[in-house]
C-alpha cells in the first residue's frame, strides 16, 4: 500500500516559559529559566523546592466557564494549546468531513490534584464529586479537544509515561500515512505539580533537591542530581500533504520518520547499553530513508538524571556511530523542567522552530560532562546552525522509547 506524506501546519504550546509557541521559543532563544520555587503546593516539608510551573494561564481565554469547570488542568492545557495550533493551521473545520479529523493527545499521569481532593472524602465518608472519574481519566484531554472543536475521527489517548507526547505524534503520523485521517491534532499534556507526584518521584530519588534554580536541572552535566518537575502542553496539527496544498496551508515541516521500541529491561531505568533507544532512532532513520550523516540536530530526552543522560548518550552513539560527535544536541528540559507526558510534544515544537530559524538553543545550567558524556550538548550558549533533519527523542518509565524525525520544507 502506498503511504502518504505528512506535514505540520500548526503548533500550540502552554509552558513554563510562556503560553504560546512564540513566547516559549523566545524564552528558549534567550536562555531564560522557567524553573523557580514551587508556588502551587506546600513543599515546606519536602526536600524538593523547585519546578517549572505554568503562570498567567486562564482557561476562560480558551473556553467558556461551564466547559472549564468540566475539565481538570491537564485537559485545559491541551485545549488551550489546540486553540493556538488550529488557529495557526487556518483549518476551516466547517468545510471538512469531521470523521476525517482526529485527535491523538495523551497524558502520562492525569489529574492527581483531583485525587488528592477526593480520596480524603472517601476516607471520611463525605460525598464524592459525581464528575470525579470523568475529570481524572487521562483520555479526557483528547476527548475534550474533540468536543470543543467537533472532531469526530480517530480519537486516542496514548499514555506511555515520559514518551507519551512523542508516541502520540508518531501514531498520528502513521494514521495519516495509512489514510485513516486527513488531519490529526496530536501531542501531550501534563499538570502534575502536586504533593503526591512530588512525594512519589522523591521516594524514587528521581528529583533534584537543589534549591538553586540555576543549578537544579543540569542535563548531561557531571554534577546533575535529578530531574525537575514541569507542566504544560504541546500540540501539533498533522496533515496529509496534498490536503494541505489544496487549501494553501503554510507548511511548517514534514514528518519523515518514526521509531518505537521497548528496552524490556527495567521499570524505571533505560537499558544501560542504549540499544533500545538507539534502535528507535535507527528505525526512524530507516523509515525516512536517511543515514546518520543526514542528522543535524537531536532534541534529547535529557532529563538531568544520572542514568538517563548516560544511557541516552550511549543510545545516540549506538544509532549514529562516529557521526554522533558532529550532531548538535540539547535539552529543552534544562529551561522548562520535565513535562512528563507533555515533554515530547513541546520538544517537537522546538524541533520545528529549530528547522525554520536555524538556531540551536542552549542546554542551560550545564557546563561540563564526564568521561562518556562527550558529545556536543550545546552547553553555555545557543548557536546558529542550518538544520535540515531534526530528531526528537523520548524515553519513558517501563522502557518505552520513541523517536520522531522532522525535515525542513
Whole-model pTM?
Answer: 0.98
Q: What is the pLDDT of residues 45-78, one digit of tens each?
A: 999 999 999 999 999 999 999 999 999 999 999 9
The single residue listed with the C-alpha cell 476562560 is: 60
- What are the φ/ψ torsions at residue 142 (nearest 5 degrees)? -65, -40
pLDDT at 223: 96
Q: Does domain 7-246 have CATH number 1.10.3720.10?
A: no
Please determine, for residue 1, whether its predicted confidence score (pLDDT) is greater than 70.
no
55 alpha-carbon distance from chain centroid: 18
Domain boundaries, the chain: 7-246, 257-407
Torsion angles phi and psi, residue 104, rounded to 5: -130, 95
pLDDT band at 341 (very low <50, low <70, confident <90, very high): very high
- 195 class by beta-carbon count within 10 Å (0-12 exposed, 13-18 middle, 19+ buried): middle
Phi, psi of 118, deg, nearest 5: -85, -35
pLDDT single digits (tens) 5-22: 999 999 999 999 999 999
pLDDT of residue 113: 95
Mean pLDDT over 201-215 rounds to 96
Residues contacting 253, CB < 8 A, separation 6+? 7, 8, 351, 352, 355, 356, 406, 407, 408, 409
- The arithmetic mean of pLDDT across residues 385-389, rounded, is 98
Answer whether 7-246 and 257-407 agree in fold.
yes
Percentage of the chain lying above the pLDDT 70 cut: 100
Contacts of 321 (CB under 8 A, 6+ apart): 292
| pLDDT of 3 strictly over 90 | no
* Mean pLDDT for all residues in the chain: 97
The Cα–Cα gap between 306 and 274 comes to 14
Q: Cβ contacts of residue 326 below 8 Å, gap of 6+?
A: 376
User: What does residue 315 show for φ and ψ, rounded to 5 degrees?
Assistant: -65, -40
Q: What is the DSSP letter of 31?
A: T
Strand partners, 188: 106, 234
Q: Reply yes or no on whether 162 is catalytic.
A: yes
- How big is the chain by its Cα radius of gyration, in Å? 20
Residue 231 CA: distances (Å) to CA of 153, 258, 284, 356: 28, 25, 27, 25
Nearby residues of 292 by Cβ (< 8 Å), 6 or more positions away: 285, 319, 320, 321, 323, 324
User: Would you state the pLDDT for residue 329?
Assistant: 98
**Residue 18 in grid coordinates:** 510562556
What is the tens place of the pLDDT at every residue in 144-187? 999 999 999 999 999 999 999 999 999 999 999 999 999 999 99
- Cβ contact 48:197 at 8 Å: no
User: Is residue 400 flagged as an active site residue?
Assistant: no
Alpha helices in 188-305 (DSSP H): 195-203, 241-246, 275-288
Q: Alpha helices, DSSP H only, in 252-300?
A: 275-288
Contact assessment for residue 238 and residue 6, using Cβ atoms and an 8 Å cutoff: yes
CA-based nearest residue to 301, from 156, 141, 203, 167:
167
* Identified catalytic residue from 167, 243, 301, 361: 301
Q: Residue 217 catalytic?
A: no
Catalytic hit among 83, 168, 243, 338:
338
Among residues 153, 175, 179, 169, the alpha carbon closest in space to that of 8 is found at: 169
Alpha helices in 303-401 (DSSP H): 306-320, 333-336, 343-357
203: pLDDT strictly greater than 70: yes
**Percent of residues, the chain, with pLDDT higher than 90:** 98
Calpha distance 321→118 (Å, rounded): 51
The residues that bridge with 15 in the sheet, in sequence order, are 18
> What's residue 2's pLDDT?
76
Architecture of domain 257-407: 3-Layer(aba) Sandwich (3.40)
Amino acid at each position: 500500500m502506498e503511504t502518504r506524506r505528512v506535514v505540520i501546519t500548526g503548533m500550540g504550546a502552554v509552558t513554563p516559559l510562556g503560553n504560546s509557541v512564540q513566547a516559549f521559543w523566545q524564552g528558549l532563544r534567550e536562555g531564560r529559566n522557567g524553573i523557580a520555587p514551587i508556588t502551587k503546593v506546600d513543599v515546606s516539608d519536602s526536600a524538593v523546592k523547585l519546578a517549572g510551573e505554568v503562570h498567567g494561564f486562564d482557561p476562560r481565554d480558551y473556553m467558556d466557564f461551564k466547559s472549564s469547570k468540566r475539565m481538570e488542568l491537564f485537559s485545559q492545557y491541551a485545549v488551550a494549546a489546540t486553540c493556538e495550533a488550529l488557529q495557526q493551521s487556518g483549518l476551516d473545520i466547517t468545510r471538512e468531513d469531521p470523521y476525517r479529523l482526529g485527535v491523538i493527545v495523551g497524558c502520562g499521569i492525569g489529574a492527581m490534584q483531583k485525587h488528592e481532593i477526593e480520596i480524603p472524602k472517601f476516607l471520611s465518608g463525605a460525598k464524592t464529586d459525581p464528575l470525579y472519574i470523568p475529570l481524572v481519566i487521562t483520555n479526557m484531554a483528547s476527548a475534550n479537544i474533540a468536543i470543543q472543536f467537533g472532531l469526530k475521527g480517530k480519537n486516542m489517548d496514548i499514555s506511555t509515561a515520559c514518551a507519551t507526547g512523542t508516541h502520540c505524534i508518531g501514531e498520528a503520523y502513521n494514521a495519516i500515512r495509512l489514510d485513516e485521517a486527513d488531519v490529526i491534532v496530536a501531542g501531550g499534556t501534563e499538570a502534575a505539580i502536586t504533593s503526591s507526584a512530588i512525594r512519589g518521584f522523591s521516594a524514587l530519588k528521581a528529583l533534584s533537591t537543589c534549591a538553586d534554580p540555576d543549578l537544579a536541572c543540569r542535563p548531561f552535566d557531571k554534577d546533575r542530581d535529578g530531574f525537575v518537575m514541569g507542566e504544560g502542553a504541546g500540540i501539533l496539527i498533522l496533515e496529509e500533504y496534498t490536503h494541505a496544498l489544496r487549501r494553501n496551508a503554510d507548511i511548517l515541516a514534514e514528518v519523515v520518520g518514526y521509531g518505537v521500541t521497548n528496552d524490556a529491561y527495567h521499570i524505571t531505568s533505560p537499558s544501560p547499553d542504549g540499544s533500545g533507544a538507539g534502535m528507535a532512532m535507527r528505525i526512524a532513520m530507516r523509515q525516512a530513508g536517511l543515514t546518520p550523516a543526514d542528522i543535524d540536530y537531536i532534541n534529547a530526552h535529557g532529563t538531568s538524571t544520572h542514568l538517563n543522560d548516560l544511557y541516552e548518550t550511549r543510545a545516540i552513539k549506538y544509532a549514529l556511530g562516529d557521526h554522533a560527535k558532529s550532531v548538535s544536541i540539547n535539552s529543552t528540559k534544562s529551561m522548562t523542567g520535565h513535562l512528563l507526558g507533555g515533554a515530547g510534544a513541546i520538544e517537537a515544537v522546538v524541533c520545528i522552530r529549530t528547522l525554520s530559524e536555524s538556531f540551536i538553543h542552549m542546554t542551560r545550567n550545564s557546563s561540563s560532562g564526564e568521561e562518556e558524556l562527550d558529545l556536543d550538548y550545546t552547553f553555555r550558549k545557543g548557536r546558529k546552525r542550518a538544520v535540515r533533519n531534526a530528531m526528537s527523542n523520548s524515553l519513558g518509565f517501563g522502557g518505552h522509547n520513541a523517536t520522531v524525525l522532522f525535515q525542513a520544507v
